Structures are given as C-alpha cells and as structure tokens.
Amino acid sequence: MYNHYNSQYGRDNVSQHSFNAGVGRRSPQHIMPALNIIGRMDDTAALALLQHLDKDDLQHLLNDESKLNDLVQDLQQVRRVQSDHDELVAQNKSLAEYNLSLQPRLDSLKTEVATLYETVNRLKTDLGITKSRLDESSKSQNLDTIHALLQTAAAEAEEESEGVAEKLLDKETGLEEFLVSYIPCRKKAHMRRIKAEKMGELLRQGGHSSGWPQSGGTPNHNPQYPPGPSSAPYPVGSSSVPYPIGAAYGMPDPRSYRP
C-alpha cells in the first residue's frame, strides 16, 4: 500500500510543480524532457529511505503530509525535475524578452508596409487616370490631324532656324552665338520634317488621305510652300518619257533640224 501511495503521490507532486509553474504551456519539444524524467522515476530511492522505518514510523509519516512531502521533494529524481523546470522557465523568459525586443522593429515594418501600400494605390489610380486621358485623346484626333500638326511643327522649326540665320546676316548676333543656336534649330527642323514626311508616306500606303497627291510624287520638303500644279505641258520625273511633239504642245520635231 505504501509503495502505491508513495509512487502515486510522487508523480502527482512532480506533475503539480512542473505544470503549475508554466511547463504545461510550453511547446511539445520543451515538455518532453520533463515528461521523460517523470516516466523514468521508480520507487528504488524512496524505498531505500523507508526500509529502516518500523510500522509506527511509517504510519506517522503517512499521517503527516508535510513530512511525506519533504521526503518526496528530497528525492534526487524530483530535484532533477525541478532543476529542468527552472531551466525551461529561464529559457522561456529569455525567449520572451528577445521577442519583445523585436516589437519596435515589427511596428516600424508594419508602418512602412502600410505607407508603401498607400503609395502603390495612389500610383495605380494616377496611372488609370492618365491612361483614360490618353485613350480619349487618341479617339479625338485621327491620323490626318496628327499629320497636320507634325507639318505645322516642322514649319515652325524651319521659321525659327531662318530667324536665327537672318539675325546673323543683320549682324544682330555674333558667329559664336549663331553656331550655338542655329545647329540645334536646324536639327529640330530636320527631325520634324522627316517625321512628317514619314507619316505622310505611311498614310498613303495605308489608304488614308494625308493632303498630299496620291500620284507618288515627292511631297514638298518645305511646308511653308505647298505644292501647286505643274506649269510644264508634259510629264516630269521620268527619263523614259518620249519628247513631246505635235500640235497639242506646239513643239517642233527636233529631227527636222538634223543636217
């Protein structure tokens, strides 16, 4: 009976001290060392202490709970469990303090993420607005309108470069200043003219009306002087065209002048 009581009391006491102190709230890997020690406990050490006691002493020990508790607490196995428990408590405390030290950094990162999220949403909204405006602008202007604007811009750049040249001729500006201003103006004028000509070519190839004749002739390189009807009474631009003769042109046959 004593063996059963001692063994049961020792296990209950160890369990109470271990789990009431916080071990029961630990993760399984932290609990296993204490449980393994409890599982390995036996009555050998307790019996070694009690084997010299007689019946009266044993009865007195059973009746006095404090002495029995002291006896159990003095067992080496119980002391080992208590030591492991204290060590686990210290480890948990250290881990908790470390986790608390990371709280400011965590709060800072959360604030940074929230700020970046708001920035992304704002940029996304701005992008949507800009795209909508671009779509509306594309719908409101057809290709012919854009081509006309390019021609106008090319003419403006041409006039600007001519104005710089006139200032040099009128001695209103020096040669050094002329070179600094004239070269960028001419470059801008050439680039705009090339873009306008290229777009006109693309419009003709695509069947759009660009304001230029569809005969395949070269468009006017200077938008300030729009092309007019040719004054020649014969086609131009091809060396294979025969010499115009006959009453329709009023031109004599050059062969009649041969000796």
Can you give the pTM of this predicted structure?
Answer: 0.31
Alpha carbon distance 38, 15 (integer Å): 8
* Helix, strand counts (H, E) of the chain: 9, 0
| pLDDT tens per residue, range 71-125 | 777 777 888 888 899 999 999 999 999 999 999 999 999 999 999 999 999 999 9
| pLDDT tens per residue, range 128-182 | 999 998 888 777 667 888 888 889 999 998 999 898 888 888 888 888 888 888 8
| pLDDT tens per residue, range 212-229 | 444 444 444 444 444 444
The winner for highest mean pLDDT among 36-40, 61-65, 102-106 is 102-106
Least confident of 55-59, 87-91, 252-256: 252-256
